[in-house]
Amino acid sequence: MTGMWKSLPVALVPTEPTDAGGGPFYWLGSAMSKLIVEELGADALANTLKHDELEFLRTFLRARRKAPKAPQYFTSEFVAAVSRLKA
């Protein structure tokens, strides 16, 4: 790993195309949104728009727990750290 990837606190390296025009992590937000809708429904995704990024991440992690075979984008250490954050 080189450059900015080396400095990330999360073991996260893009593995999908990034030509969607939204920057290098656009694909990640899209994949997270897709899993939220699949596991929790469109209303759950829409509800995240009323809150901050932390709520989006927590909603994604809730959806991820319901789908153990879904891709794991974050390390267990990162997930544990998120669970300790206060809203």
Sorting pLDDT into bands at 50, 70 and 90, what band is 4?
A: very low
Residue 87 CB-density burial (10 A; 0-12 exposed, 13-18 middle, 19+ buried)? exposed
pTM exceeds cut of 0.85: no
Three-point CA angle 70, 40, 42, nearest 5° = 115
Instruction: Tell me the per-residue pLDDT of 32-53, one tens digit each, with 9 for 90 and over.
Output: 999 999 999 999 999 999 998 8
Give per-residue pLDDT as tens, 51-69.
988 999 999 999 999 998 9
84 pLDDT above the threshold of 80: yes
Contact 13, 72 (CB under 8 A): no
The residue among 23 and 85 whose pLDDT is bigger is 85
CB-based contact 48:59 (threshold 8 Å): yes
Sign of the dihedral defined by the CA atoms of residues 58, 30, 10, 72, in that order: positive
